[in-house]
Structure 1
Amino acid sequence: MKRLIETLAALPLLALPGGSVALAGVAEREPPSAVLWLLVIGIAALSWVMACRRWWLPLAIWVPAALFISSLIADVADPVIGPALREELGLGYILQLDLAGALVLVLPLMVANMWFTRRE
Protein backbone atom coordinates (compact mmCIF):
# COMPACT_ATOMS: atom_id res chain seq x y z
CA MET A 1 0.00 0.00 0.00
CA LYS A 2 2.81 2.40 0.89
CA ARG A 3 4.49 1.71 -2.47
CA LEU A 4 1.26 2.52 -4.31
CA ILE A 5 0.88 5.82 -2.47
CA GLU A 6 4.50 6.78 -3.28
CA THR A 7 3.96 5.94 -6.93
CA LEU A 8 0.75 7.96 -7.13
CA ALA A 9 2.42 10.89 -5.39
CA ALA A 10 5.26 10.87 -7.96
CA LEU A 11 2.95 10.91 -11.00
CA PRO A 12 2.54 14.70 -11.12
CA LEU A 13 6.34 15.04 -11.22
CA LEU A 14 6.44 12.98 -14.41
CA ALA A 15 4.07 15.44 -16.07
CA LEU A 16 6.64 18.23 -15.83
CA PRO A 17 7.93 19.58 -19.15
CA GLY A 18 10.37 17.11 -20.63
CA GLY A 19 9.59 14.58 -17.92
CA SER A 20 12.59 15.87 -16.00
CA VAL A 21 12.21 15.39 -12.27
CA ALA A 22 15.73 16.63 -11.43
CA LEU A 23 15.23 19.97 -13.18
CA ALA A 24 11.84 20.73 -11.69
CA GLY A 25 11.62 24.38 -10.73
CA VAL A 26 14.53 25.69 -12.79
CA ALA A 27 12.44 28.76 -13.58
CA GLU A 28 12.03 29.53 -9.89
CA ARG A 29 15.69 30.54 -9.68
CA GLU A 30 15.48 33.01 -12.56
CA PRO A 31 14.20 36.57 -12.06
CA PRO A 32 10.86 37.37 -13.72
CA SER A 33 10.96 39.53 -16.82
CA ALA A 34 9.39 42.46 -14.94
CA VAL A 35 12.33 42.41 -12.52
CA LEU A 36 14.75 42.42 -15.45
CA TRP A 37 13.14 45.53 -16.92
CA LEU A 38 13.03 47.24 -13.52
CA LEU A 39 16.74 46.49 -13.25
CA VAL A 40 17.34 48.16 -16.62
CA ILE A 41 15.37 51.24 -15.56
CA GLY A 42 17.14 51.33 -12.19
CA ILE A 43 20.60 51.04 -13.76
CA ALA A 44 19.75 53.80 -16.24
CA ALA A 45 18.47 56.13 -13.51
CA LEU A 46 21.38 55.39 -11.20
CA SER A 47 23.86 55.92 -14.03
CA TRP A 48 22.29 59.26 -14.87
CA VAL A 49 22.34 60.47 -11.26
CA MET A 50 25.91 59.32 -10.76
CA ALA A 51 27.03 60.95 -14.01
CA CYS A 52 25.59 64.27 -12.83
CA ARG A 53 28.13 64.16 -10.01
CA ARG A 54 31.17 62.86 -11.93
CA TRP A 55 31.24 61.60 -15.51
CA TRP A 56 33.15 58.42 -14.57
CA LEU A 57 30.94 57.27 -11.69
CA PRO A 58 28.58 55.16 -13.88
CA LEU A 59 31.60 53.01 -14.71
CA ALA A 60 31.48 51.77 -11.10
CA ILE A 61 28.06 50.24 -11.78
CA TRP A 62 29.32 48.41 -14.83
CA VAL A 63 31.40 45.71 -13.08
CA PRO A 64 28.70 44.41 -10.67
CA ALA A 65 26.10 44.61 -13.43
CA ALA A 66 28.34 42.66 -15.80
CA LEU A 67 28.93 39.96 -13.19
CA PHE A 68 25.21 39.65 -12.47
CA ILE A 69 24.22 39.47 -16.13
CA SER A 70 26.98 36.98 -16.90
CA SER A 71 25.64 34.67 -14.19
CA LEU A 72 22.17 34.82 -15.77
CA ILE A 73 23.50 34.24 -19.28
CA ALA A 74 25.65 31.35 -18.00
CA ASP A 75 22.47 29.57 -16.90
CA VAL A 76 20.99 29.95 -20.38
CA ALA A 77 24.21 28.71 -22.02
CA ASP A 78 24.47 25.66 -19.74
CA PRO A 79 23.83 22.45 -21.72
CA VAL A 80 21.50 21.06 -19.03
CA ILE A 81 19.82 24.12 -17.52
CA GLY A 82 19.48 26.06 -20.80
CA PRO A 83 17.05 23.68 -22.55
CA ALA A 84 15.04 23.34 -19.33
CA LEU A 85 14.76 27.13 -19.10
CA ARG A 86 13.70 27.39 -22.74
CA GLU A 87 11.10 24.73 -22.15
CA GLU A 88 9.71 26.21 -18.94
CA LEU A 89 9.90 29.93 -19.66
CA GLY A 90 9.85 30.01 -23.44
CA LEU A 91 11.99 31.68 -26.04
CA GLY A 92 10.42 35.09 -25.32
CA TYR A 93 11.92 35.14 -21.83
CA ILE A 94 15.36 34.22 -23.19
CA LEU A 95 15.17 37.06 -25.72
CA GLN A 96 14.08 39.51 -23.00
CA LEU A 97 16.94 38.33 -20.80
CA ASP A 98 19.44 38.89 -23.58
CA LEU A 99 18.06 42.32 -24.45
CA ALA A 100 17.87 43.46 -20.82
CA GLY A 101 21.38 42.15 -20.23
CA ALA A 102 22.73 44.03 -23.21
CA LEU A 103 21.05 47.24 -22.06
CA VAL A 104 22.34 46.85 -18.50
CA LEU A 105 25.86 46.48 -19.86
CA VAL A 106 25.65 49.35 -22.34
CA LEU A 107 23.66 51.99 -20.43
CA PRO A 108 26.33 52.96 -17.85
CA LEU A 109 28.92 53.23 -20.63
CA MET A 110 26.59 55.34 -22.78
CA VAL A 111 25.75 57.72 -19.95
CA ALA A 112 29.41 58.09 -18.97
CA ASN A 113 30.35 58.77 -22.58
CA MET A 114 27.55 61.29 -22.98
CA TRP A 115 28.61 63.26 -19.88
CA PHE A 116 32.30 63.01 -20.78
CA THR A 117 31.72 64.52 -24.22
CA ARG A 118 29.54 67.24 -22.68
CA ARG A 119 32.39 68.35 -20.40
CA GLU A 120 34.81 68.94 -23.27
Structure 2
Amino acid sequence: MAPTVPAFAGVAEREPPSAVLWLLVIGVAALSWVMACRRWWLPLALWVPVALFDSALVADLVDPVIGPAVRQELGLSYMMQADVTSALTLVLPLMFANAMFIRREQVKPKLRRDIWRR
Protein backbone atom coordinates (compact mmCIF):
# COMPACT_ATOMS: atom_id res chain seq x y z
CA MET A 1 0.00 0.00 0.00
CA ALA A 2 1.45 3.38 -1.02
CA PRO A 3 1.82 6.11 1.57
CA THR A 4 -0.85 8.76 1.44
CA VAL A 5 0.23 12.07 -0.02
CA PRO A 6 -1.85 15.20 0.52
CA ALA A 7 -3.73 16.27 -2.59
CA PHE A 8 -1.92 19.60 -2.76
CA ALA A 9 1.62 18.51 -1.94
CA GLY A 10 4.19 20.72 -3.61
CA VAL A 11 1.93 23.77 -3.90
CA ALA A 12 4.57 25.92 -2.23
CA GLU A 13 6.99 25.29 -5.08
CA ARG A 14 5.03 27.83 -7.13
CA GLU A 15 5.55 30.56 -4.54
CA PRO A 16 8.73 32.68 -4.62
CA PRO A 17 11.11 32.15 -1.69
CA SER A 18 11.10 34.78 1.04
CA ALA A 19 14.65 35.86 0.14
CA VAL A 20 13.44 36.67 -3.38
CA LEU A 21 10.59 38.72 -1.93
CA TRP A 22 12.97 40.77 0.21
CA LEU A 23 15.31 41.27 -2.75
CA LEU A 24 12.30 42.51 -4.68
CA VAL A 25 11.61 45.06 -1.94
CA ILE A 26 15.22 46.27 -2.06
CA GLY A 27 15.13 46.41 -5.86
CA VAL A 28 11.85 48.33 -5.94
CA ALA A 29 13.17 50.78 -3.34
CA ALA A 30 16.41 51.38 -5.23
CA LEU A 31 14.69 51.69 -8.59
CA SER A 32 12.04 54.01 -7.15
CA TRP A 33 14.69 56.24 -5.64
CA VAL A 34 16.65 56.46 -8.88
CA MET A 35 13.51 57.12 -10.88
CA ALA A 36 12.30 59.76 -8.43
CA CYS A 37 15.63 61.55 -8.62
CA ARG A 38 15.13 61.85 -12.39
CA ARG A 39 11.46 62.88 -12.38
CA TRP A 40 9.14 62.88 -9.39
CA TRP A 41 6.39 60.96 -11.24
CA LEU A 42 8.51 58.11 -12.66
CA PRO A 43 8.05 55.78 -9.65
CA LEU A 44 4.32 55.86 -10.37
CA ALA A 45 5.01 53.97 -13.60
CA LEU A 46 6.72 51.26 -11.54
CA TRP A 47 3.72 50.99 -9.27
CA VAL A 48 1.43 49.28 -11.82
CA PRO A 49 3.55 46.16 -12.54
CA VAL A 50 4.41 45.83 -8.87
CA ALA A 51 0.73 46.02 -7.95
CA LEU A 52 -0.10 43.30 -10.48
CA PHE A 53 2.64 41.02 -9.10
CA ASP A 54 1.52 41.63 -5.53
CA SER A 55 -2.12 40.98 -6.35
CA ALA A 56 -1.20 37.63 -7.93
CA LEU A 57 0.90 36.68 -4.90
CA VAL A 58 -1.73 37.65 -2.36
CA ALA A 59 -4.50 36.01 -4.41
CA ASP A 60 -2.69 32.68 -4.09
CA LEU A 61 -2.21 33.14 -0.36
CA VAL A 62 -5.85 33.96 0.38
CA ASP A 63 -7.26 31.25 -1.88
CA PRO A 64 -9.35 28.85 0.26
CA VAL A 65 -7.56 25.79 -1.16
CA ILE A 66 -4.04 26.98 -2.00
CA GLY A 67 -3.62 29.26 1.03
CA PRO A 68 -3.88 26.55 3.72
CA ALA A 69 -1.58 24.26 1.71
CA VAL A 70 1.06 27.00 1.46
CA ARG A 71 0.63 27.78 5.15
CA GLN A 72 1.11 24.11 6.00
CA GLU A 73 4.21 23.71 3.82
CA LEU A 74 5.97 27.04 4.39
CA GLY A 75 4.55 28.14 7.71
CA LEU A 76 2.88 31.25 9.01
CA SER A 77 6.13 33.25 8.94
CA TYR A 78 6.22 32.99 5.13
CA MET A 79 2.65 34.25 4.94
CA MET A 80 3.53 37.23 7.14
CA GLN A 81 6.68 38.01 5.14
CA ALA A 82 4.75 37.83 1.87
CA ASP A 83 2.16 40.26 3.22
CA VAL A 84 4.77 42.69 4.56
CA THR A 85 6.84 42.64 1.38
CA SER A 86 3.71 43.12 -0.75
CA ALA A 87 2.72 46.14 1.32
CA LEU A 88 6.22 47.60 1.14
CA THR A 89 6.54 47.19 -2.60
CA LEU A 90 3.20 48.94 -3.05
CA VAL A 91 4.02 51.84 -0.75
CA LEU A 92 7.68 52.52 -1.60
CA PRO A 93 7.18 53.94 -5.13
CA LEU A 94 4.42 56.19 -3.83
CA MET A 95 6.60 57.36 -0.93
CA PHE A 96 9.53 58.28 -3.17
CA ALA A 97 7.27 60.05 -5.67
CA ASN A 98 5.63 62.02 -2.87
CA ALA A 99 8.95 62.94 -1.26
CA MET A 100 10.39 64.25 -4.51
CA PHE A 101 7.17 66.09 -5.37
CA ILE A 102 7.22 67.86 -2.00
CA ARG A 103 10.91 68.67 -2.37
CA ARG A 104 10.27 70.09 -5.83
CA GLU A 105 7.40 72.24 -4.56
CA GLN A 106 9.53 73.60 -1.73
CA VAL A 107 12.36 74.55 -4.07
CA LYS A 108 10.16 76.06 -6.77
CA PRO A 109 8.89 79.15 -4.81
CA LYS A 110 12.47 80.07 -3.88
CA LEU A 111 13.42 80.01 -7.54
CA ARG A 112 10.45 82.17 -8.47
CA ARG A 113 11.42 84.83 -5.90
CA ASP A 114 14.98 84.85 -7.20
CA ILE A 115 13.78 85.41 -10.76
CA TRP A 116 11.63 88.40 -9.82
CA ARG A 117 14.41 90.06 -7.83
CA ARG A 118 16.80 90.12 -10.77
TM-score bucket (shorter structure): 0.7 to 0.9
The answer on 1:102 being equivalent to 2:100 is no
Deviations 1:39-70 (A, max 9, x none): 00000000000011100000001010000000
Structure 2 unaligned spans of 5+: 106-118
Return the TM-score normalized by structure 1.
0.85
Indicate whether 1:81 and 2:66 are aligned: yes
Equivalent position amino acid for 2:34 in 1: V
Q: Deviations over 1:22-47 (max 9, x none)?
A: 31111100000000000000000000
Alignment of 1:31-110 (within 5 A): 31-110=16-95
SS of equivalent to 1:40: helix
Structure 1 residues not aligned, in runs of 5+ = 1-6
- Give the letter for the 1:107 counterpart: L
Q: How many residue pairs align between the two structures? A: 105
- CA offsets, 1:10-29, max 9 Å, x none? 42xx2xxxx51x31111100
Give the whole-Å Cα distance in 2 for the aligned partners of 1:56 and 1:41: 19
* Stretches (4+) displaced over 2 A: none
Q: TM-score, normalised by structure 2?
A: 0.86
Aligned sequence identity (%) = 73
Q: Which amino acid aligns with 2:26?
A: I
